């Protein structure tokens, strides 16, 4: 008995100090500082705007060369309050809209609420944590070598990704997917393949979230500087008659409103020095336009000097619409975030449970931290085909731009939603989930509950509980997987260089034609690492 007790104490103490070790990572990153400590003028080989899902792995990689790297992040650090990034606080952190929160809310022109990350680590700090690699077609579209991608995924996984514990709700839904024919059973895998699988998670066994910011452990601390609460207002260019504009620096402001300018170094190999936009699918096209690259007429109407007339900046914006059902179950079971996925061609199904999902609704008075006996079986589909646009609302970078995703504008998207909803309904009605259902609750009741929730600002129609097409349109929510605005082949080339200017790239989801896998975070981090390696190779060639 004594040995068992000592072993139990050891496990408890280990788990406790494991949490402390996670919380104490920030002091080890001596290169992460508040922007108030930045000099008025500074010079770097690489300036990365946005320390998010792509920016952190990119910066860590570039710093291992012979170059000095600056990262400018408009938000704070996820390490300052690690309770906010624990699994149990997922919804409260996502829905926190206080001035210094990790999440900035916006409502698209479609009437659908959404969120932008504003924190070191980007979307990996506020998402559901699901980790899975992309389908092979994405690598071809992104122009990334398969072997480099494989190594880059593994580089990310070593620091962030965990095999999830067997959560009760996730296991039940997994059995339900198999029962209704989402086959084969693929077990545990990161691969994006048809069937049912358990994938990775960025939450460890203690419920601690591991984010893209953790990838800065790979950085050379002597070659990198990260400034927090550094709000970039514009990129500056050197322009001469008859010559292509060349990015030369950025203007940013700290939390006290003090102006700073960071320039690219003017060295013999200065053509290898670059500014990289990694501000996300909303921030990158917005900053390009604020810096004078975009539709000329719109920029002039806002008093912005045109550097390059580029009408495709802000075009081809897309977001994967979310569909699904909330199920009330009778007994309390541990909460969980997505670790199980069902993949049938273009249809992807995931699930979460134990949270008060009404906190995601508009105008909900529910406490965001509360937990309930609710499960959410939700899905998205590959694509989407529907696309919209992003336009500047003002010249204030802190203002959200106007964004329209045109959900279900394409008939094929609506058909895929209906197919996905039929699979969700089949899983809900499966024998595997029968013990998690109130037997007197019908499918129609569940559909009506979703229709009655104020999940968006769109009108409701009387036939939304009898027509799955109308249900999809009326209850559409975001999957937070928006992309586009700086598409490859239209705004950037295959090396992610902005077409028509020098010394400027965009590396993030704004370059994507579709959102990879069931969750894009793995592939966005992989992209940051892969293109970082490509830039290092190119710089070495130039130096030699």
Active site residues: 481
512, 140 Cβ separation under 8 angstroms: no
Report the DSSP beta bridge partners of residue 234. 251
State how far the Cα of 154 lies from the Cα of 310, in Å rounded to an integer.
Answer: 37
State how far the Cα of 162 lies from the Cα of 152, in Å rounded to an integer.
Answer: 16
Phi and psi angles of residue 415, each rounded to the nearest 5 degrees, phi first: -60, -40
Q: Which two three-digit tokens encode residue 37? A: 């400590």
313, 285 Cβ separation under 8 angstroms: yes
Residue 169 annotated in ligand binding = no
116, 108 Cβ separation under 8 angstroms: no
Q: What is the DSSP letter of 497?
A: B
Cα–chain-centroid distance for residue 147?
Answer: 24
State how far the Cα of 294 lies from the Cα of 290, in Å rounded to an integer.
Answer: 8
Q: What is the DSSP string of 321-387?
A: EEEEEEEE-SS----B---EEEEETTEEEEEEEEE-GGGGSTT--S-TT-EEEEEEEEEEES--S--
Could you tell me the CA-to-CA distances from 484 to 107, 269, 361, 412, 445 in Å, in that order?
17, 32, 26, 19, 37
State how far the Cα of 303 lies from the Cα of 313, in Å rounded to an integer.
Answer: 17
State how far the Cα of 317 lies from the Cα of 228, in Å rounded to an integer.
Answer: 28
Q: Which two three-digit tokens encode residue 125? A: 């700090």
Q: Which two three-digit tokens encode residue 532? A: 């970082």
Residue 521 annotated in ligand binding = yes
Phi and psi angles of residue 63, each rounded to the nearest 5 degrees, phi first: -70, -15
Among the listed residues 42, 55, 137, 120, the one whose alpha carbon sits nearest the alpha carbon of residue 496: 55
Residue 520 annotated in ligand binding = yes
Continuous H helices in 117-164: 136-142, 146-160
Residue corresponding to tokens 């514990």: 165
State how far the Cα of 391 lies from the Cα of 409, in Å rounded to an integer.
Answer: 19
Q: Are strands 246-253 and 259-264 parallel, antiparallel or unpaired?
A: antiparallel
End-to-end CA distance of the chain: 68
Residue 481 annotated in ligand binding = yes
261, 249 Cβ separation under 8 angstroms: yes
Annotated binding site: 119, 232, 480-481, 520-521
Annotated binding site for FAD: 119, 232, 480-481, 520-521
């Amino acid at each position: 008995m004594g040995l068992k007790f000592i072993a139990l104490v050891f496990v408890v103490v280990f788990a406790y100090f494991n949490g402390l070790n996670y919380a104490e990572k920030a002091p080890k990153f001596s290169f992460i500082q508040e922007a108030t400590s930045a000099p008025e003028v500074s010079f770097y080989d690489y300036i990365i705007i946005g320390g998010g899902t792509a920016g952190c792995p990119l910066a860590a990689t570039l710093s291992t060369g012979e170059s000095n790297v600056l990262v400018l992040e408009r938000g704070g650090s996820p390490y300052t309050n690690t309770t906010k990034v624990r699994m149990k606080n997922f919804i409260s952190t996502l829905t926190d809209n206080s001035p210094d929160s990790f999440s900035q809310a916006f409502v698209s022109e479609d009437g659908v609420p959404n969120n932008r990350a504003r924190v070191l680590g980007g979307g990996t700090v506020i998402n559901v944590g699901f980790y899975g690699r992309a389908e092979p077609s994405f690598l071809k579209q992104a122009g990334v070598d398969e072997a480099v991608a494989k190594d880059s995924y593994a580089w990310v996984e070593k620091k962030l990704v965990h095999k999830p514990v067997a959560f009760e709700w996730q296991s039940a839904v997994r059995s339900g997917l198999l029962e209704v024919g989402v086959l084969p059973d693929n077990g545990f895998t990161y691969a994006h393949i048809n069937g049912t699988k358990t994938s990775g998670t960025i939450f460890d066994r203690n419920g601690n979230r591991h984010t893209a910011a953790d990838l800065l452990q790979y950085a050379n601390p002597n070659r990198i500087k990260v400034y927090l609460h550094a709000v970039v207002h514009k990129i500056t260019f050197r322009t001469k008659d008859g010559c292509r504009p060349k990015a030369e620096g950025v203007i940013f402001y700290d939390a006290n409103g003090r102006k700073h300018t960071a320039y690219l170094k003017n060295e013999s190999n200065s053509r290898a020095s670059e500014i990289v936009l990694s501000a996300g699918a909303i921030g990158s096209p917005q900053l390009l336009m604020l810096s004078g690259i975009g539709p000329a007429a719109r920029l002039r109407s806002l008093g912005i000097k045109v550097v390059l007339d580029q009408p495709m900046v802000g075009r081809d914006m897309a977001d994967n619409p979310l569909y699904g059902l909330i199920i009330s179950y009778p007994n309390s079971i541990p909460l969980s975030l997505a670790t199980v996925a069902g993949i049938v061609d273009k249809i992807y199904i995931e699930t979460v449970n134990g949270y008060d999902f009404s906190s995601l609704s508009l105008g909900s008075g529910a406490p965001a931290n509360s937990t309930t006996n609710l499960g959410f079986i939700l899905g998205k589909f590959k694509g989407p085909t529907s696309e919209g646009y992003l336009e500047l609302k003002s010249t204030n970078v802190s203002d959200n731009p106007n964004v329209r995703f045109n959900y279900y504008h394409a008939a094929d998207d609506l058909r895929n939603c209906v197919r996905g909803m039929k699979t969700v309904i089949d899983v809900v009605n499966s024998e595997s989930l029968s013990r998690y259902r109130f037997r007197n609750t019908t499918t129609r009741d569940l559909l009506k509950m979703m229709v009655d929730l104020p999940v968006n600002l769109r009108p409701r129609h009387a036939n939304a509980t009898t027509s799955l097409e109308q249900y999809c349109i009326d209850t559409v929510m975001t999957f937070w997987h928006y992309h586009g605005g700086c598409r490859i082949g239209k705004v950037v080339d295959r090396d992610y260089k902005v077409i028509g200017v020098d010394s400027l790239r965009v590396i993030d989801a704004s370059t994507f034609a579709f959102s990879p896998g069931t969750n894009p975070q793995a592939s966005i981090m992989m992209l940051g690492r892969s293109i970082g390696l490509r830039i290092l190779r190119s710089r070495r060639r130039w130096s030699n």
